[in-house]
Amino acid sequence: MGPIRRDDRGQVAVEFVGMLPLILLTLVLLWQCVLIGYTYTLAGNAADEAARAEAVGDDCEAAATRHLDGAWKSGASVTCGSSGGMVHVTVTLRVPVLFPGAVSFPFDVRGEAGAVREEAEDR
């Protein structure tokens, strides 16, 4: 009787199938991090746009929601105010879970911006 030889064929396929759930979970978590970062970017940009509009006397809320997509626009909250020649805007957005428009996390992302109120010059 000769030596017993073990065959390693198929081992890579077995290891890949075992690692596939971990790979998919990692991709899902990375995608969720992208959505959270994108929501912060949208909130900051919306607050900047609204502050600029409020500083020149335009509609603050319309400016804040102008560039938001449906998933973020539906849960957006805009607060505009001014005092002492300054304009302050806060935009609050919901963070979607995996797919915008489906379910949102129970926490909000806030973007804040300020600007100096511009007055018309009399000539």
Helix ranges (H only) for 8-97 are 11-55, 60-65, 70-73
| β-strand partners of 97 | 103
- Which tens digits make up the pLDDT trace of 13-30? 777 788 888 999 999 899
Residue given tokens 């690692």 in the structure block: 19
Query: According to the model, what pLDDT value does residue 88 have?
Result: 92
CA–CA distance, 108 with 105 (Å, rounded to integer): 8
> Could you give the CA distance from residue 19 to residue 106 in angstroms, rounded to a whole number?
31
pLDDT at 123: 45
Q: Which two tokens stand for residue 71?
A: 């998933």
Q: Dump pLDDT digits (tens) for 51-87.
A: 998 888 888 888 888 888 877 788 888 888 888 888 9
